[in-house]
Amino acid sequence: MSEDRGEDRDGAREVRAEDAFDAAAVDAWLREHAADWAQPFPEGVPEVRQFPGGASNLTYQLTWGEPPGGRQLILRRPPRGVKAKSAHDMGREHRIQAALRPVFGRVPRMAAYADPATGEQILGAESGTEFYVMEKLEGTILRQDLPAGMSLTREQARTLSTRMIDTLVDLHDVDVETAGLADLGRGPGYVARQVTGWTDRYARARTDDVGDFAEVAAWLAAEQPPDAGMCLIHNDYRFDNVVLGPDLEVVGLLDWELATVGDPLMDLGAVVAYWTQGDDDEMFQLFRRQPTHLPGMLTRAQVWDHYAARTGRAVGEGERIFYEAFGLFRLAVIAQQIYYRYVHKQTTNPSFAVFGTVVNELQARCERLIATGDGNATRAQGSSA
């Protein structure tokens, strides 16, 4: 354990005061609602730790006892403060994973779900705070940098990044009718709805110290392509939402709050928006959330190329620029919604204080990409192929 940050080997930390809840109440509820789920609960109240990535929904680790007789589960709940239900719907997130496990496999088993009324009572939170509990998948989650003691050769980095895209292709191949998830979609017009919806969200969440994204929003509205198809999409697919096995295989996907039935290229555009390369400028490197900068990792252009080769879907230069630009814009909206909560003191997490700067840099990056392709959406700069 790291004494200076109070972290365990999984990155969980002490619970922030504003995000705390009564562990005994959760324990009693679980013993009643998940008693026969998998294995008996050890005696005692669980220790609760919080994962630091809770910028949107909050994630906690519940630990009973010590190995080998101990047990660990994961609890997910929305943040405090004003929030859009569509972005923090725990029942929906729980349902998607429960439905996917038989047909896709790489999701945790669900243990129990608490509706808003129950969640409010159990967590002692404001009205409408639903939550769910699931198994903890064992494996490695890559965040900004590799864990201490871990290294990747160029070949391993290439294999890992290729498997990431292969897994996304597998997800997009899921038969949503068979999975019982077809009703997540609203039919044709997905791209148009996304452009309009995220533009409106930004306007509602804008604060005085960030740009207006007017040029970007107008370009996206004018240049949007027709839907490239309909399939199950994750919508937040990146390394810190992926659990890796000992041989760098993808054993689990996490964080399904934005999943829906929609355009697969919108999903890939979101992947590319997060995909920082080793040759990116210093400012964009500061936003890096995953180790995609390492030698051997696919470049953004190679991500597009590999997906196209796996799916047989040709993606032209103009489409690549549009989907990456939208991915960056959507990322900025998410950051701004969090920053809005920070500015209005709905959260006191100090890491959110810089999100306004992040939003302004993402606007500049979108504008450069739209004007010149400077975001490398169509060029394999730094390619290690």
162-210 pLDDT, tens digit each: 999 999 999 999 999 999 999 999 999 999 999 999 999 999 999 999 9
Q: What is the DSSP letter of 241?
A: G
330 has a pLDDT exceeding 90? yes
Opening angle at CA 162, ends 268 and 278, nearest 5 = 80
In this predicted model, what pLDDT tens digit does every residue of 202-223 receive, in sequence order?
999 999 999 999 999 999 999 9
For the segment 123-139, the average pLDDT, to the nearest whole number, is: 84
At 26, the pLDDT band (50, 70, 90 cuts) reads very high
CATH of domain 154-372: 3.90.1200.10
State the pairing for strand pair 58-64/250-253: unpaired
CATH class of 17-135: alpha beta
pLDDT of 128: 64
Q: What is the pLDDT of residues 349-375, one digit of tens each?
A: 898 999 999 999 999 999 999 997 544
- Only one residue has tokens 């839907």, namely 227
Q: Is residue 25's pLDDT more than 90?
A: yes
Mean pLDDT calculated for residue range 50-78 = 84
Domain boundaries, given as residue ranges, for the chain:
17-135, 154-372
Q: What is the mean pLDDT of residues 242-246?
A: 96
* Cβ atoms 126, 166 nearer than 8 A: no
Phi, psi of 39 (to 5 degrees): -150, 155
* Phi and psi angles of residue 272, each rounded to the nearest 5 degrees, phi first: -65, -35
The residues with which 372 forms a beta bridge, in sequence order, are: none
Contact assessment for residue 236 and residue 253, using Cβ atoms and an 8 Å cutoff: no
| pLDDT at 2 > cutoff 80 | no
Cis amide linkage into residue 68, ω under 30° from 0: yes
Tokens of 365: 């990056």
Q: What mean pLDDT is predicted for residues 17-41?
A: 85
Amino acid 120: pLDDT: 86
Residues 229-255, mean pLDDT to the nearest whole number: 96
**C-alpha span between 114 and 130 (Å, rounded):** 6
pLDDT on residue 374: 44
Q: How confident is the model at residue 86 (pLDDT cuts 50, 70, 90)?
A: low
Is the pLDDT score of 293 beyond 60?
Answer: yes
Q: pLDDT-derived band of residue 323, with 50, 70 and 90 as boundaries?
A: very high
Contacts of residue 227, defined as CB under 8 A and 6 or more positions apart, other chains included, come to 188, 189, 190, 191, 262, 263
Query: Is pLDDT above 60 for 151?
Result: yes
pTM, rounded to two decimals: 0.87
Specify the pLDDT at position 133: 96
With 0-12 / 13-18 / 19 or more C-beta atoms within 10 angstroms meaning exposed / middle / buried, residue 327 is buried
Percent of the chain residues past pLDDT 90, beyond the cut: 74
CA–CA gap between residue 197 and residue 29 (Å, rounded): 37
Q: Check residue 129 and give its pLDDT.
A: 83
Q: What is the pLDDT of residue 197?
A: 97
Q: What is the mean pLDDT of the chain?
A: 89
Q: Which residues contact 285 (CB under 8 A, 6 or more apart)?
A: 276, 293
Encoded amino acid at 304, one letter: W
Percent share of the chain, pLDDT over 70: 89
